[in-house]
């Protein structure tokens, strides 16, 4: 599967609406216009409506393709966009020209936010040159230092993304520095426990096996050299990283060293959230919108 296929093959049903918090930004609007051209989603654009319309016209888009909600400040834009999703008018949320923390605070607001019983976590889908499948990395951007219980929920969220991509029984590798349990390394103890939780049916819809080091998780040769017998080794679909530091560094290494393509989502809230940043390429923004469209359609 290629990320471009998600763009080309928009979900069959009528495109869902994505609410964009502070859309008055050319980079964001370029992605919105492209996604509209691919019939991937409809958009409710929140922010200074006059400015948004002027920018759309300047970028060659059609202002009448969109709905609009006026908001005067960054906080108001986040709250109004979240409200669109909470009211069911939009099926996904997208970060525009606002800070991640302002948007996440609006999402996590107890009364008006998008919280569920589920943990909210970040899942990135990479297309890495030379690797034969899309590989999901989680959590590279939201949960800082998850404990065992949180790691189990982070896996469940990533599995829900994998299922939306057509991977029915994804292989999950909890990535550690070594492939044996070392009680001095909590990540290896958690990895072994998560594997047992999976065998006992406490984590479903996937196959979890670890601890695995990154090389044995993604290279069958490396796994063979170490004599590792595992259904997951060398064929991982999902890499669960132990901390945000590992995840964020892996994410950026894949993009900057390996020239991987990426799309990413935050899931576990009432609706998927697209947290693109300025540094993301136009392509990455479009892939993230495509992921959100497929996820929202699959789980609606």
Interface residues with ligand COD (CB under 6 A) are 100-101, 104-105, 108, 115, 119-120, 141-144, 248
* Count of alpha carbons within 13 angstroms of residue 189, beta-carbon side: 8
Q: How far is the CB of 181 from ligand COD (least distance, A)?
A: 27
The residue number whose beta carbon is nearest to ligand COD equals: 120
Give whichever of 150 and 215 is closer to ligand COD, judged by the CB atom. 150
Q: Is 68 exposed, middle or buried (0-12, 13-18, 19+ CB in 10 A)?
A: middle
Give whichever of 67 and 100 is closer to ligand COD, judged by the CB atom. 100
Beta bridge pairs of residue 261: 127
Q: Is 144 exposed, middle or buried (0-12, 13-18, 19+ CB in 10 A)?
A: exposed
Q: How far is the CB of 267 from ligand COD (least distance, A)?
A: 10
Q: How far is the CB of 251 from ligand COD (least distance, A)?
A: 9
Q: How far is the CB of 150 from ligand COD (least distance, A)?
A: 8
Give whichever of 108 and 180 is closer to ligand COD, judged by the CB atom. 108
Q: How far is the CB of 139 from ligand COD (least distance, A)?
A: 8
Tell me the longest C-alpha to C-alpha distance in the chain. 63
Give whichever of 65 and 105 is closer to ligand COD, judged by the CB atom. 105
Give whichever of 59 and 144 is closer to ligand COD, judged by the CB atom. 144
Could you tell me which of 68, 62, 53 has the C-alpha nearest to residue 33?
62
Q: How far is the CB of 25 from ligand COD (least distance, A)?
A: 17
CB 127 within 8 A of CB 254: no
Q: How far is the CB of 58 from ligand COD (least distance, A)?
A: 29
Instruction: Please enumerate in sequence order all residues whose Cβ is within 8 A of that of 110, keeping only pairs 6 or more positions apart, or say none.
Output: none
Q: Would residue 233 be called left, alpha or beta, if left means φ above 0 and alpha means ψ between -120 and 50 degrees?
A: beta
First to last CA, the chain: 22
Give whichever of 35 and 154 is closer to ligand COD, judged by the CB atom. 154
Give whichever of 67 and 243 is closer to ligand COD, judged by the CB atom. 243
């Amino acid at each position: 599967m290629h990320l471009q296929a998600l763009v080309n093959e928009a979900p069959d049903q009528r495109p869902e609406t994505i609410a964009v918090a502070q859309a008055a930004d050319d980079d964001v609007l370029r992605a919105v216009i492209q996604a509209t051209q691919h019939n991937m989603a409809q958009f409710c654009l929140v922010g200074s409506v006059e400015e948004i319309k002027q920018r759309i016209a300047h970028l060659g888009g059609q202002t009448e393709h969109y709905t609009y909600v006026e908001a005067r400040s960054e906080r108001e834009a986040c709250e109004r966009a979240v409200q669109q999703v909470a009211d069911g008018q939009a099926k996904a949320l997208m970060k525009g020209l606002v800070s991640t923390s302002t948007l996440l605070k609006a999402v996590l607001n107890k009364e008006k936010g998008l919280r569920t019983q589920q943990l909210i976590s970040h899942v990135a889908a990479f297309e890495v040159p030379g690797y034969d499948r899309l590989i999901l990395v989680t959590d590279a951007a939201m949960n800082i230092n998850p404990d065992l219980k949180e790691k189990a929920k982070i896996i469940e969220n990533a599995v829900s993304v994998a299922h939306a991509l057509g991977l029915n029984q994804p292989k999950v590798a909890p990535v550690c520095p070594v492939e044996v349990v070392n009680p001095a390394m909590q990540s290896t103890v958690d990895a072994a426990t998560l594997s047992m939780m999976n065998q006992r049916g406490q984590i479903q819809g996937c196959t979890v096996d670890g601890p695995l080091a990154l090389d044995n998780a993604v290279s069958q040769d490396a796994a063979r050299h170490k004599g590792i017998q595992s259904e997951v080794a060398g064929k991982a679909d999902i890499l669960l990283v132990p901390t945000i530091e590992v995840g964020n560094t892996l994410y950026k290494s894949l993009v900057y060293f390996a020239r991987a393509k990426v799309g990413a989502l935050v899931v576990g809230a009432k609706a998927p959230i697209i947290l693109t940043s300025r540094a993301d390429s136009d392509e990455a923004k479009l892939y993230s919108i495509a992921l959100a469209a497929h996820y929202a359609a699959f789980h609606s």
